Structure 1
């Protein structure tokens, strides 16, 4: 039997993401692409850059708040070291710059705006993500 939280949690999370990107687009006229926001705030300081830093601060603050309220959600299930996770994050960040955006920008915002580039990017992310998981499963003997 399916637990109701298995259905409601993703629905609520997806709904909140949809509301957040809609609010950003309606009130700021901006697409919510995390990698673009972070890259722009670090690469080229501009007069309108305050909203980027406020957005990044909100993401960090939200993470810190939920970690304090529900620390059980922040277990290291992978068993990987913090250093390896950090390096992996940097590599993902570099990849998003090479791909002109990340899953939040392309998958959530771009696809909903029917951007062909975003549809292609999202399909590419998904295909190579699936292939990578299959390769890791095969090479590790079935466990990730």
Structure 2
């Protein structure tokens, strides 16, 4: 049952959160935009609470369900930081992140988001095919 229940509840919560965020702020939800608001705008409380909620919610779920996730990453912290900065630059260049385009853009039938999501998915499929 968990294989069906957990993704279903997770998807519903993501949809409800995206809807509530849009209705209360007039902005679509996407982690790159929220992180940018946290760093570069004066109204930092809502982005801070959102990011804190992601961390606390994920941690609470892990504790309550007694699930752990191994983090076997042994790469250089400098390489990880550089990779993160490049991803951030890519999200600015692409007009948003995968979560913003995939969850909010497609639900609003945004042609730009539909094309972006198709490209994200195609790139991921090609990458997995090459690497695997």
Q: 2:73 aligns with which of 74, 77, 80?
A: 80
Partner of 1:142: none
Distance 1:115 1:13, change over 3 A: same
State the alpha-carbon separation in 2 of the partners of residues 101 and 121 from structure 1. 9
Q: Are 1:26 and 2:23 matched, yes or no?
A: yes
Q: Which structure 1 residue ranges, 5 or more long, are not aligned?
A: 138-144
Cα shift at 1:37: 0.9
Task: Measure the CA separation in 1 of the matches of 2:66 and 2:88.
Answer: 25
- Determine helix, strand or coil for the equivalent of 1:114: coil
2:126 to 131, 134, 140: 131
**Distance in structure 2 (CA, Å) of the matches to 1:30 and 1:95:** 20
2:93 aligns with one of 98, 101, 109: 98
Q: What is the distance in 1 between the residues matched to 2:112 and 2:24?
A: 24
* Match runs of 1:44-123 below 5 Å: 44-46=40-42, 48-70=43-65, 72-76=67-71, 79-81=72-74, 83=76, 86-87=80-81, 88-123=83-118
Query: Number of residue pairs matched?
Result: 130
Instruction: Select the structure of larger CA radius of gyration.
Output: 1
Of the three residues 7, 18, 23, the one matched with 1:10 is: 7
RMSD over aligned CA atoms reads: 2.3
Call closer, same or farther: CA 1:35–1:65 in 2, change over 3 Å. same
* Deviating more after overlay: 32-41 vs 49-58: 49-58
Residues 1:60 and 1:131: Cα distance change in structure 2 (over 3 Å): same
- State the Cα distance separating 1:94 from its structure 2 match: 3.2
